[in-house]
Structure 1
Amino acid sequence: MRRSQRKQEEPDLGVLAGRTLFGLQRELFTRLGEVGHPDVRPRHGAVLAYLDEEGSRATDLAAQSGQHKQVIGTLVDELVELGYVRRQPDPADRRAKLIVPTDKGLDHMAKSDAILAGMEAEHARAVGEEAYAEFKRVFRLVADRHSGR
């Protein structure tokens, strides 16, 4: 059996994780576009998926997303330009800046959470509630193991 055929029939964890991520992103961002957020791209998830409603430091977003601080800075610049976030002084340390969602950013975050919850409910119905809960439990264990948690 050729390697490519074997990978299709018995995909490894990397292939499965990639297919899951890219399929999820495709569906999520298509739906977000339909509900008023057509200008946000999957790369912006490195900021928006981890952003606290009260604001987050860029260094925290970098650590949580696994991206370099410079990448986060570029993404924040794009999101500022698009009107999703703003920078403001951190009240706990005036030298630091917080990345804070705007009303548009909060709307995006709420709609994204709702869409993802709906997608997860669809998966649970398709494979069974117990099987999906177990899948998420095990997937979280594997993900945590690879992220050093």
Structure 2
Amino acid sequence: MVHGLDQEDNGPLIGALLRRPFLASRAAIVDALHGAGFDDLQPAHLAVFQHPGPDGRSPGDIARSAMTTKQAMNNLLGQLEGGGYLRRTVSPANRRERVVELTDRGRRVIAEIRRAVEMTEGEWSDALGAGEYARLRRLLAELNEHLE
């Protein structure tokens, strides 16, 4: 037995249970972004826009949050910079460091992502019932705090 789980149980483990809602949420975000005219954005770009967002952060910090390499993140940032979503500027606090600044277009993306996630959360709340969904959300928030 591991943490109270019977090892002979063939049911899905927590990663599998979290994966499907994560992928559904991501698909809803991409669909909403494309529907709002941001059709050059791809699922990989969501790593840049994930909470707490890139504004005022260094590329290295964003890469760490996204659990990717600096090189991969700089590639995504370059694509988004080319699309007019953000710009990389010299940090006023450390002239050797760059920071990301969202443009108005980038801020509209963040707002659209928020709308898409709120719609998804509403659907899930309807499916589970408001009380159970609130409990799920609270437990996930507590788990996230523990993992920090």
Alpha-carbon distance in 2 for matches of 1:46, 1:52: 9
Residue identity opposite 1:56 in structure 2:
R
What residue is the counterpart of 2:53 in the other structure? 51
Alpha-carbon distance in 2 for matches of 1:139, 1:83: 34
What residue is the counterpart of 1:85 in the other structure? 86
Alpha-carbon distance in 2 for matches of 1:144, 1:70: 28
Alpha-carbon distance in 2 for matches of 1:144, 1:46: 20
Answer yes or no: is 1:74 the counterpart of 2:75: yes
What residue is the counterpart of 2:95 in the other structure? 94
Alpha-carbon distance in 2 for matches of 1:77, 1:71: 10
Residue identity opposite 1:62 in structure 2:
A
What residue is the counterpart of 1:119 in the other structure? 120
What is the deviation of 1:63? 2.2
Q: Quickly say closer, same or farther: Cα 1:65–1:144, change in 2 above 3 A.
A: farther
Identity of aligned residues (%): 27
Residue identity opposite 2:23 in structure 1:
F
Q: C-alpha deviations, 1:43-90, integer Å up to 9, x for none?
A: 11111124244x211122122222222221111111112221111111
- Number of equivalenced pairs: 139
Residue identity opposite 2:117 in structure 1:
L
Alpha-carbon distance in 1 for matches of 2:37, 2:47: 20
Alpha-carbon distance in 2 for matches of 1:32, 1:138: 29
- In the alignment, structure 2 segments of 5+ residues that lack a partner are 1-8
- In the alignment, structure 1 segments of 5+ residues that lack a partner are 1-5
What residue is the counterpart of 1:15 in the other structure? 16
Q: Give me the CA root mean square deviation.
A: 1.9
TM normalised by structure 1 equals 0.83
Is contact 2:86–2:106 with CA below 8 Å preserved after alignment? yes
Alpha-carbon distance in 2 for matches of 1:12, 1:94: 46
What is the deviation of 1:126? 2.1
More displaced stretch, 31-40 vs 43-52: 43-52
Alpha-carbon distance in 2 for matches of 1:47, 1:78: 11
Which has the larger share of helix? 1
